[in-house]
Amino acid sequence: MSTAAAAGTWKLGDLEVNRIGYGAMRLTGNGMRGNSDGAPIDRDLAVGLLHRAFEQGVNHIDTAAFYFSPLRSANELINRALASWHGDVVVVTKVGPARDPAGEWLGMARPDQLRGQVEENLRQLGRDHLDVVNLRANGPGTASIAEHFGALAELREAGLIRHLGLSAVMPEHVVEARTIAPVVCVQNSYGLDWRRADESGLVDLCREQDIAFVSFFTVSGLRREAAADQEHDARVHSVARAHGATPAQIRLAWTLQRGPHVLVIPGTANPAHLAENIAAGSLRLTEQELALLDKPDESAA
C-alpha cells in the first residue's frame, strides 16, 4: 500500500509532516457554505476514515472551528479520532471568518475577537495549545493583515499557538506578516486550472523563504467547495491513461511537482478516494507530461 510518505516531507516550523495531508471540511457535509452536497457521514465512520488516513501516513490535518453543519463539527470528529490514536498528527486550523450557531457568515472577526476563536478551537480539539493557526484573509481585497496577525502573534507569545501561517493571501501579505512573526505556511487555492499563486509570484516567494505552500481545492478546482466534477480535460485523461491513474491523482501529482515546498490537503469522505489521493504521492510525471499539462486544453475550445 502506498503511503503519504512517498511524496516526501516538509517542515511547518519544527513540525515535520508528509506533503500529502487531509482537509477535514468535507466530513461535515460542506463546512464552508452551511449547505451540503451530500449528508455528512456517520461519526464512527468519520473517525474510522481519519484513522485510515493516519495509518496510511497522513500526519497533517487541516480544519477550522467554522467547519460545521447542523449535524457535524470537523474539530469534534478530529478530537475523537486523535483521542484513540497514538501517533503524532499535526493539526492546522484557521481563524478570521466567523459564523453564528445557525451557520450564517458574520464576516471577518475583529483583531480583539481572534483570541475567542483560538480558544474555541482549543476547546473543540481538546488541546492546551494549537500546532499551527492560519489567519484566513480575503485574498486581493485585503488591504492589510497587520492588526489581525499581530493579535495572533501575541497569542503565540502567550503559548496558545506554536506556529503561525496565512490563508487566502497575496505576496504582500506574506511580506507584511513576516515583519511581525515567523510564517511557516501559506494556504491558498491552487491547481492545474487555478494558478493565480503562480501569476502573483506567491509560490516562488514561499520557496525562496522556505515557507510551505499548501494547496487546497487542488482536485475540485473552480468548483471549489463543491465535489469534484467529471474530468473534462483531455490532457489530464491522456496522462492518467499513461500511468493507469485517475484524473484526480494526476492533478495532485502535478501540484506536488511544483516544488518540494508544495503540500496538498485533499479532503474526502470516501475511503477509496482517500487511498487514491494518498497514492498520488507515488506518481512522478515526466517533463513531457508536465509540458503537455501546461498547454491550453484544446478539448475545451
* Model pLDDT for residues 155-180, shown as the tens digit of each residue: 999 999 999 999 999 999 999 999 99
| In contact, 106 and 137? CB cutoff 8 Å | no
pLDDT 10s digits, 219-267:
865 544 445 557 778 899 999 999 999 999 999 999 999 999 999 999 9
Judged by DSSP in three states, 293 sits in: helix
Residue 180 within a domain: yes
pLDDT value of residue 224? 47
Judged by DSSP in three states, 92 sits in: strand
pLDDT value of residue 176? 97
Q: Which of 91-95, 106-110, 200-204 has the least mean pLDDT?
A: 106-110
Q: Which of 67, 149, 190, 217 is catalytic?
A: 67
Label residue 36 by pLDDT band (50, 70, 90).
Answer: very low
Mean pLDDT calculated for residue range 198-223: 89
Judged by DSSP in three states, 38 sits in: coil
Label residue 31 by pLDDT band (50, 70, 90).
Answer: very low
Residue 262 within a domain: yes
What pTM, to 2 d.p., does this model score? 0.92
Q: At what angle do helices 146-157 and 171-178 cross, to 10 degrees?
A: 40
Helix (DSSP H) and strand (DSSP E) numbers for the chain: 11, 12
Rg (CA), the chain: 18
Cell of 292: 503537455
Residue 250 phi/psi, 5-degree rounding, is: -65, -40
pLDDT value of residue 301? 42
pLDDT value of residue 228? 53
Write down the mean pLDDT value for the chain. Answer: 90
The CATH number that applies at residue 226 is 3.20.20.100
Residue 27 within a domain: yes
| In contact, 239 and 250? CB cutoff 8 Å | yes
Label residue 298 by pLDDT band (50, 70, 90).
Answer: low
Residue 190 within a domain: yes
Residue 96 CA to residue 100 CA, distance in Å, equals: 13
Residue 36 within a domain: yes
pLDDT 10s digits, 48-98:
999 999 999 999 999 999 999 888 899 999 999 999 999 999 999 999 999
| In contact, 211 and 181? CB cutoff 8 Å | no
Identify which of 14, 18, 28 has the alpha carbon closest to the alpha carbon of residue 54.
Answer: 18
Looking at the structure of the chain, the number of domains it has is 1
pLDDT at 138 > cutoff 90: no
pLDDT value of residue 35? 38
Residue 126 CA to residue 81 CA, distance in Å, equals: 11
Tell me whether residue 67 is one of the annotated catalytic residues.
Answer: yes
pLDDT value of residue 30? 55
Residue 297 within a domain: no
Cell of 6: 512517498
Residue 11 within a domain: yes
Q: Which domain holds residue 183?
A: 4-233+249-285
pLDDT value of residue 259? 96
pLDDT value of residue 190? 94
pLDDT value of residue 227? 52
Beta bridge partners of 136: 167
- In 59-198, DSSP assigns E strands to 60-62, 90-95, 97-99, 105-108, 130-136, 161-167, 185-189
pLDDT value of residue 32? 47
Label residue 287 by pLDDT band (50, 70, 90).
Answer: very high
DSSP at 210: T
Cα–Cα separations (whole angstroms), residue 190 to 79, 175, 213? 28, 20, 10
Residue 92 within a domain: yes
pLDDT value of residue 294? 87
